[in-house]
Chain A
Amino acid sequence: MDPTRPPALADLETLARRGRWLVISTVAGSGGGHVGGPLSAMDMLVALFFRVLRVRPAEPGWPERDRFILSKGHSSIGLYAVMAMRGYLPVEELKTFDKGDSRLQGHPDMTRLPGLDASTGSLGQGLAVGLGIALGSRMRGLGCHTFVMLGDGECQEGMVWESVNVAARYGLGNLTAIVDQNGLQQYGWPLPDGEAHPGDRADPWPGTRLGAAFEAFGWRVVEIDGHDFGAIVAACEGSRGAASDGRPTAILARTVKGKGLSFTEGRHHWHSRVATPDEVAQARLELGIDEQGIPR
C-alpha cells in the first residue's frame, strides 16, 4: 500500500481486519471494554478516516479539517484503533486503554487526545455538538464537513431529535449523521411472542422506521450496507456533494453487531465483554493476523 495515496477499497478491508484485531486484543489486554459496537462500526470508521475525512493527523487542530464525532462513545476503542492506524497516535499506545493516566479513556475525551472533535459517552449528545460545529464553520466560511456517528439504540435518546429538528431548521447541508444500525443494544426490549431474533431480545425501536423519522424532519436519507466500503465512501462523499441543497444527510447503515468474528457476530453478550485467551487466538486466526499483529 502506497502511504502517499488514499488506499484502494481492497486495502480498506485489510485495514479493517487489523482494526478489528486491535479492538479485540486491546480490550482483552485492558480487562474491560466494548466489542460489539466497535466491530459493527469498524468498516465505516476505516472508510471515513482513510478515504472520506479531509484531515491532517500530524496537525489535528487544522482549522479547515473535516470533523468526526463518535456520538456512540462506548465504541471508543474502535475509533482509537483507526486513529492509531491513521497516524494520530502510536499503535503501541492502545495498550494504555483504560489503564489510568491514559489519553485513551473508556469514552472519548477531547481534553486528553488531540484529534477528537468532541467528548462523548452519555448517549444522544454528539449530534448537537456536530450541529454547533457545522453551524459555526458555515458562519466562519469554512468548507469543511461534519460527520457524526450514532448508534441505533442511541436514537432512543430524546435529545437526538432536538438536534435533528434544529439542524434541518438551519439548513445544515454540511452535517451528516451516520447511524450504525447494528440492530442490537445492550439489553434490548422484550421480544413479542413467537418472534425470531438472533439474540434473545428485540431490535432497537421495533416497528419504527428510522429513515421516515429523519425524513419527516427534512433530512436527506440514504440507506446503505455499512460493511460495503464502496457504498460507505459513496454515501459519505455524496452527502458532502449534496451540501449545497441545504439539507443535512442521514446515512442509515445496516450493520452486524460484532462483525468479523464467528463468535461475536449478532451476539448480545458481546456488547461489552473481554475475550478469553482461546478467543483471542481464534480471533487472530479468523482475521489472519500474524505474530506481529499485522494482517497477512
Chain B
Amino acid sequence: MKATREAWAETLVELARTNPDVLVLDADLATSTKADAFARAYPERFLEMGIAEQNMVGVAAGLATVGYVPWLSSFAVFFTHRALDQVRMLVAQTHSNVKIGASYSGLLTGLTGKTHQDVQDLAIMRAMPGLTVLAPADAIECAAMVRWATETNGPVYLRLTRDAGPDVFDEGYRFEPGRVRLVREGRDVLLVSTGTQTTRCLDAAGLLDARGISAGVLHVPSLKPVDAKALVDAARAVRLVVSVEEHTVLGGLGGLVAEILTAREPRRLVRVGIDDSWGESAPNDFLLDKHGLSPARVAERVARELAAETR
C-alpha cells in the first residue's frame, strides 16, 4: 500500500546502488514526484533542470548518447503536452534511452484542477512509434517496471500516480512487456483496466459478485506493446466487455481495446472513463464518482449494460 510515485523513487535509489549510469533529471518538482529521495541518496547523479521541461527532455537525450540512463521527473501533463514535441523528435523518433517518470497522472492529483490533470496521456503517448507505454496497478508492479525499463534499451513512458492504493500483485511479480494479466476470473463480463484503476475494478467485481454477476478483471499494464491475442481470448469467454480507465475514453485503453476487437473479434464494447471532458479541483472520491470510476459506479454501470445486453 504505497503510491507508485514513491515506489518509482525508491526503486531508482536501489538501482543506482549498483548501476552508476542511472541519473534523475528533475524540473523543479522533486518534492512532489518523490525524486528528492534520489537527490538525497545520490546528489551527484541528480540533475536539477529548473522549471524548463522542454530543455530537460533534450538534455536527457544528450546524456543518453554518452551512455547514461536518464529518468525524468515531472508531472505527466508537462511531458505529454508542454514538452511533447521534444519527446516526439528527440526521444521517440531517435529511440533514445530516455525514461519518462510521468507523475500525477490522471484525475487524482491532489486538488490541482484541470490545468495539472492529464487525462489524455495514454492516447497521446500510445500514438508514438517505438515508445513503450506503461501504467502500473500498484507499487509492486511499478517497481518491477522501473527495473525492467532501466535495464532495457529504448524510450519508456511510465504513468505514475500521486496517491497510495491497495496492492494487486505480490512480491514475486515479474514484468513482461505486452503481457496482460487476468487478475480476477469471471463468466459474465470482462472489465479491462489499466493503471491503478484496476484496484477499483477489482472492488467493483466484488460488488457485482454480491449481485450475482460474475465479473473478470483483465489488467493491461503495458499499453504499448500489448498482447492483442491474449486480450481477444479473454474477451471471447464473456458476454460483455467493458474498458475502464482514469483517462478520456478517446484513444486510450478504450481506444486500444476497440481497435483490437474490431479487427479480430467484432463485438460491442462499453468504454467507461472520462467522457470527452476536462477534470476539475475536487477530492478523489468526488472525481471518481462524477466520472463513473468509483467501484460502486463501475458496478452500477456494468449491471445496467449487462441487463441491456440480455434484453
A78 to B68, CA, bound (A): 31
Residues of A within 8 A of B67 (CB): 136, 140
A130 to B55, CA, bound (A): 10
A120 to B55, CA, bound (A): 14
Q: Decide if A131 is an interface residue (CB 8 Å cutoff).
A: yes
Chain A nearest CB: distance from B232 CB in Å? 33
- Report whether A132 and B85 are in contact in the complex, using a CB–CB cutoff of 8 Å: no
13 A–B contacts, CB within 8 A, in A order: A63-B66, A110-B94, A111-B94, A118-B65, A119-B90, A119-B93, A131-B55, A131-B62, A132-B63, A133-B62, A136-B68, A159-B55, A159-B86
B58 touches which one: A110, A132, A136, A165 (CB < 8 A)? Answer: A132
Q: Decide if B95 is an interface residue (CB 8 Å cutoff).
A: yes
The chain A residue sitting closest to B53, CB to CB, is: A162
Q: Decide if A137 is an interface residue (CB 8 Å cutoff).
A: yes
**Known interface pairs A119-B89, A162-B50; 15 further A-B residue pairs with C-beta atoms within 8 A, sorted by A's residue number:** A110-B94, A122-B88, A122-B89, A127-B58, A128-B54, A128-B58, A129-B61, A129-B65, A132-B64, A135-B62, A136-B65, A137-B66, A140-B66, A159-B55, A162-B55
Chain B nearest CB: distance from A14 CB in Å? 33
A109 to B61, CA, bound (A): 14
- Report whether B86 and A125 are in contact in the complex, using a CB–CB cutoff of 8 Å: yes
Residues of B within 8 A of A54 (CB): none
Residues of B within 8 A of A165 (CB): 50, 52, 55
- Report whether B49 and A166 are in contact in the complex, using a CB–CB cutoff of 8 Å: yes
Q: Decide if B47 is an interface residue (CB 8 Å cutoff).
A: yes
Chain B nearest CB: distance from A175 CB in Å? 10
With an 8 Å Cβ cutoff, the count of chain B residues facing the other chain is: 28
A159 to B49, CA, bound (A): 13
- Report whether A130 and B62 are in contact in the complex, using a CB–CB cutoff of 8 Å: yes
Q: Given A162-B55, A163-B55, are A122 and B85 neighbors across the interface (CB < 8 Å)?
A: yes
A289 to B55, CA, bound (A): 43
Contact with B along A105-131 (1 / 0, CB 8 A): 000011100000111111011111111
Q: Decide if A142 is an interface residue (CB 8 Å cutoff).
A: yes
A129 touches which one: B50, B59, B68, B88 (CB < 8 A)? Answer: B59
Chain B nearest CB: distance from A146 CB in Å? 8
- Report whether A166 and B59 are in contact in the complex, using a CB–CB cutoff of 8 Å: yes
With an 8 Å Cβ cutoff, the count of chain A residues facing the other chain is: 34
A135 to B45, CA, bound (A): 11
A122 to B86, CA, bound (A): 9
Q: Decide if A169 is an interface residue (CB 8 Å cutoff).
A: yes
- Report whether A132 and B50 are in contact in the complex, using a CB–CB cutoff of 8 Å: no
Q: Decide if B22 is an interface residue (CB 8 Å cutoff).
A: no
Chain A nearest CB: distance from B157 CB in Å? 19
The chain A residue sitting closest to B85, CB to CB, is: A122
A251 to B49, CA, bound (A): 24
Residues of B within 8 A of A166 (CB): 49-50, 52, 55, 59
Chain A nearest CB: distance from B25 CB in Å? 9
- Report whether A135 and B85 are in contact in the complex, using a CB–CB cutoff of 8 Å: no
The chain B residue sitting closest to A73, CB to CB, is: B89
Interface centre among B64, B68, B90, B95 (most CB of A within 10 A): B90
Q: Given A128-B57, A165-B50, A169-B50, are A135 and B89 neighbors across the interface (CB < 8 Å)?
A: no
- Report whether A128 and B89 are in contact in the complex, using a CB–CB cutoff of 8 Å: no
Residues of B within 8 A of A117 (CB): 65
- Report whether A131 and B58 are in contact in the complex, using a CB–CB cutoff of 8 Å: yes
Residues of A within 8 A of B218 (CB): none
Chain A nearest CB: distance from B99 CB in Å? 14
